[in-house]
Amino acid sequence: MLEVRNLRSAYGRIEVLKGIDLDVQTGEIVALVGSNGAGKTTLLRALSGVQPITGGEIRFNGQRIDRLPPHKRVEMGMTQSPEGRQVFGSLTVEDNLQLGAYRRRDKGIDQDRDRIFSMFPVLAEKRHLLAGGLSGGQQQMLAIGRALMGRPKLLLLDEPSLGLSPLLVDQILDAIVSLKKDGITVLLVEQNASAALAIADRGYVLETGKVAHSGSGSVLLADPQIKAAYLGIA
Ligand code: ATP
């Protein structure tokens, strides 16, 4: 579904992505992990088209997309749910979800909203409240829900567990697994590497702008070197 070849990106003269190769197959959950500043967020932003690239290729379902503007990539089925929970605070929960579906003209919108409410029941309880009053975890759920309302084929998630309590982290990860069951492919950037690899089919470990390791989630999780370097387990 997604093929990334020799992707490069820089901030000014500082190269931050130094030739990334990465694949995501249809139906997979792929985790992108690595220490702070490794380039994970920059990579997601380059994929969604908001970060300029200086070299390399990105293909989505066989088609070159690296010169397309972000909204074209969204139209093709690739949606990013951003880090930092950018929900519209002065709109209700329901209106935030509705906005996620603004490009759609089909009849499945209400059904998808109900599906999100069953995935995150707290959003259903608070559907008429302003999003700005939600807790951080609830805003994160709403941001994911809003991205899902666009019916993406590939969902790019940046740090969905950032700043959440362990219970909420579990809820978000369960929701990601349930997306896979619904046929949505997920590329997940996570600081919480062990949790991400545990639900991932495959993972990539990024180190200063390069892929340092890749493999199945379980193999990466069990690798002593990776445990020591990234998972905080000696
Ligand atoms: P984190 O988990 O801390 O967000 P990351 O792996 O997502 O880390 P990036 O945010 O992609 O890493 O950052 C990669 C490198 O690019 C870092 O060295 C960072 O300082 C630098 N960087 C990020 N954003 C900018 C920017 N807007 N201008 C200049 N340098 C930046």
CA–CA gap between residue 112 and residue 97 (Å, rounded)? 10
Note the pLDDT tens digit of each residue in 128-156.
999 999 988 889 889 989 988 988 999 99
Ligand 1 in reach of 38 Cβ (< 6 A): yes
> Confidence band (pLDDT; 50, 70, 90) for 83?
low
Note the pLDDT tens digit of each residue in 185-214.
999 998 888 889 999 999 999 999 999 999
> Confidence band (pLDDT; 50, 70, 90) for 215?
very high
Domain ranges of the chain: 85-150
Pocket test for ligand 1, best of 7, 11, 80 (most atoms within 8 A of CB): 11
Helix then strand count (H, E) for the chain reads 10, 10
Note the pLDDT tens digit of each residue in 153-169.
999 999 888 878 888 88
Angle between helices 109-119 and 136-149 (to 10 degrees): 150
Percentage of the chain beyond pLDDT 70 is 97
- Ligand 1 centre to CA of 187 (Å) is 18
The pLDDT assigned to 234 comes to 45
The pLDDT assigned to 227 comes to 80
The pLDDT assigned to 3 comes to 98
Q: Tell me the residue length of the chain.
A: 234
- Ligand 1 centre to CA of 208 (Å) is 10
The residues that bridge with 201 in the sheet, in sequence order, are none
Mean pLDDT, rounded, for 7-30: 96
| Among protein residues, the one whose CA lies closest to atom 18 of ligand 1 | 37
ipTM over 0.85: yes
CB 125 within 8 A of CB 176: no
Ligand 1 in reach of 209 Cβ (< 6 A): no
CA–CA gap between residue 68 and residue 47 (Å, rounded)? 10
Of 168, 166, 90, nearest to 136 (Cα)?
168
- 104 or 123, which is more confident? 123
Of 77, 172, 152, nearest to 112 (Cα)?
152
CB 209 within 8 A of CB 17: yes
CA–CA gap between residue 191 and residue 34 (Å, rounded)? 7
CB 175 within 8 A of CB 186: no
Note the pLDDT tens digit of each residue in 20-60.
999 999 999 999 999 888 999 999 999 999 999 999 999 99
